[in-house]
Amino acid sequence: MRINLASVFVDDQAKALRFYTDVLGFLKKADVPLGGHSWLTVVSPDAPEGTELVLEPNQHPAAKAYQEALAADGIPVNSFAVDDVHAEFARLAGLGVRFVQEPTDMGPVTTAILDDTCGNLIQIAEYKG
C-alpha cells in the first residue's frame, strides 16, 4: 500500500495553483473541470509520477471551519521535505512568502512554517541523518 493522493483545502484554486507552482515549485499534474471547480493536482518535480497533492476547494462548511481552526491555532496542514530548510526559507522569503515560524532546530529535524496565501500553514522540514 502507498499514498497516492493527499489534499489541502484552498480558498481559491487558481490562486493556489499559482502559489504551489510559481512559488513553491510544484508541477501541475491534473486540471479536470468539474462544474465551478476542477480536479486540480500538483506533484513534486523530483517525483512527477509520485504522490499528487489535490488543491481541494474549501466550499464545504466543515472544510472551511477545519481550515480556519488549524490556521488560527498555528497548526500546519502539511509538511513538505526540503534538502536545506535555511536555503529554502531564504529563497521563499525573497519571493515574499510570509513565514510564521523561521527555521527552528527540533532535534532530528529543522522546520519552518509558511502561509500558503490560500488559508493554510505549511511546514517545510529538513530531516537530518
pLDDT at 119: 95
**Mean pLDDT score across all residues of the chain:** 96
pLDDT at 129: 79
pTM of this structure: 0.94
Decide the pairing of beta strands 99-105 and 37-43: unpaired
User: Residues 85-91: contacts with CB within 8 Å, 24+ apart?
Assistant: 85/110, 85/111, 85/112, 85/124, 85/125, 85/126, 86/110, 88/112, 88/124, 89/124
CATH number at residue 60: 3.10.180.10
Instruction: Name the residue range of residue 33's domain.
Output: 5-127
Give the chain's domain count.
1
Q: Which residues of the chain have pLDDT under 70?
A: none
